Amino acid sequence: MSRPKGAKNVREQSDAVASRCPRCSSTDSIKLGRKQYQPFAGLDANGQPFDAICRQRVQCTHCGQTRIDRTLTFQGRDPDPA
């Protein structure tokens, strides 16, 4: 995807927070399964729109605790094309 003509510098930034293990607070993990997307639209805590919930099973590399990471994503396409 190319940048629009005339866009020389990035003016907007987003903050990403790494998921942490509830047991040891480590951010290192390995993926155990593929991502699963569920269409669901709304606004996140920062007021940014999202149109899908992404869930993925991961395992902490430090203590072995398994968990499901959930992220809100904006894919920008119609989830139900009719």
pLDDT at 82: 45
Helical (H) or strand (E) element with 53: strand 49-60
Please give the single-letter amino acid code of residue 44.
D
Residue scoring higher pLDDT (1 or 34): 34
- Bridge partners of residue 69, in order along the sequence: 56
Residue 50 lies in a domain: yes
**CB contact set of 32 (below 8 Å; sequence gap of 6+):** 57, 58, 59, 66
Query: What would the two tokens of residue 64 be?
Result: 């072995």
Q: Is the dihedral of CA 40, 2, 34, 44 positive or negative?
A: negative
Please give the single-letter amino acid code of residue 56.
Q
Note the pLDDT tens digit of each residue in 9-26: 766 666 777 899 999 999
Residue 47 lies in a domain: yes
Q: Total domain count for the chain? A: 1
| Domain that residue 43 falls in | 29-73
Note the pLDDT tens digit of each residue in 31-74: 999 999 999 999 998 898 999 999 999 999 999 999 999 999 99
